[in-house]
Amino acid sequence: MRKKLVAGNWKMNGSLAENAALLAAIKPALAGIEAAVCVPFPYLAQAQAALAGSSIAWGAQNLSDQAKGAYTGEVSASMLRDFACTYVIVGHSERRSLYGESDELVAKKYMAAQAAGLVPILCVGESLAEREAGVTEQVVARQLDAVIAAAGVASLANAVVAYEPVWAIGTGKTASPEQAQAVHAFIRGKVAALDPAVAAGLVIQYGGSVKASNAAELMTQPDIDGGLIGGASLVADEFIAICRAAAN
Ligand code: PGA
């Protein structure tokens, strides 16, 4: 059986005081449940100190494709490893759309993460216009193909894929369990055509307005292996309930 993994994406939220309260609430409640939080860079040390030795891993939301040097404002994979990060989100739709990250750049970041021993959480997903135009599968395939072409299908054995329809992120509009399952099955089938064993083990998270109230129906779909949670990951009771729904 594939594991289920719920990861919080805090985005650009939090403060030392708010994080301390949130981490103190989720840590004991999720004892024994594998989960993760992806926090802003300045709070990695805080997450590490609070969560070391627990079943909750931590990570970042972005990284540089470069290893080191004159890249003002960037953060490298090895720096994330210095804070014992397990995960790093790559290719989130907000990075693709607000910061112009191309499929090729996302693939380079994915490879930089893996080269340093981090597990990339590769985000893919279509916009509302793309869904309405009926090109959801083409868009998701293009985003995946860029990574597979650069890093090889075997690299997915050390990665997580997050399907996040852009129209569902932060909008309160969740994909229905059937809509999400259909795309997850498409993703797994596409990988299976290249490497059935990698496909069978691949954790594919759903993200986009997951809440405690809709988590169970999403997490019981056969190809949904957890979630990438934005807004609800900032509310301890919501995040705990989502993680528990996935673990059940
Ligand atoms: P949301 O965000 O849960 O607030 O919709 C998900 C994400 O962007 O990862």
Q: What is the pLDDT of residues 120-160, one digit of tens each?
A: 999 999 999 999 999 999 999 999 999 999 999 999 999 99
Mean pLDDT for the stretch of residues 12-39: 98
Q: Is the pTM of this model over 0.75?
A: yes
Mean pLDDT for the stretch of residues 40-55: 98
pLDDT of amino acid 248:
87
Q: Is the pLDDT of residue 31 over 90?
A: yes
**Minimum CA distance residue for ligand 1 atom 6:** 230
For residues 221 and 146, give the distance between their C-alpha atoms in angstroms, rounded to a whole number. Answer: 27
Q: Is the pLDDT of residue 1 over 80?
A: no
Q: Which of 101, 126, 130, 164 is catalytic?
A: 164
Instruction: Estimate to the nearest angstrom the gap between the alpha carbon of 9 and the chain centroid.
Output: 7
Higher local confidence (pLDDT), 1 or 172:
172
Amino acid sitting at position 179: Q
Among residues of the chain, what percentage have pLDDT more than 70? 100
**Minimum CA distance residue for ligand 1 atom 3:** 230
CB 58 within 8 A of CB 51: yes
Domain 5-247 is classified in which CATH homologous superfamily? Aldolase class I (3.20.20.70)
pLDDT of amino acid 174:
87
Q: Please provide the average confidence, as pLDDT, over all residues in the chain.
A: 97
* pLDDT band (50, 70, 90) for residue 44: very high
Copy the structure tokens of residue 193: 């055509």
Per-residue pLDDT tens digits for 90-124: 999 999 999 999 999 999 999 999 999 999 999 99
Ligand 1 atom closest to Cα of residue 232: 3
Per-residue pLDDT tens digits for 183-221: 999 999 999 999 999 999 999 999 999 999 999 999 999
Q: Is the pLDDT of residue 172 over 90?
A: no
Residue 31 φ/ψ, nearest 5 degrees:
-55, 125
* pLDDT band (50, 70, 90) for residue 88: very high
pLDDT of amino acid 34:
96
pLDDT of amino acid 145:
98
Ligand 1 atom closest to Cα of residue 94: 8
In the chain, where the domains are located: 5-247
How remote is the CA of residue 69 from the centroid of ligand 1, in Å? Answer: 32
Contacts of range 50-55, beta carbons closer than 8 Å, 24 or more positions apart: 50/19, 50/20, 50/23, 50/24, 51/23, 51/27, 52/84, 54/27, 54/30, 55/30, 55/31
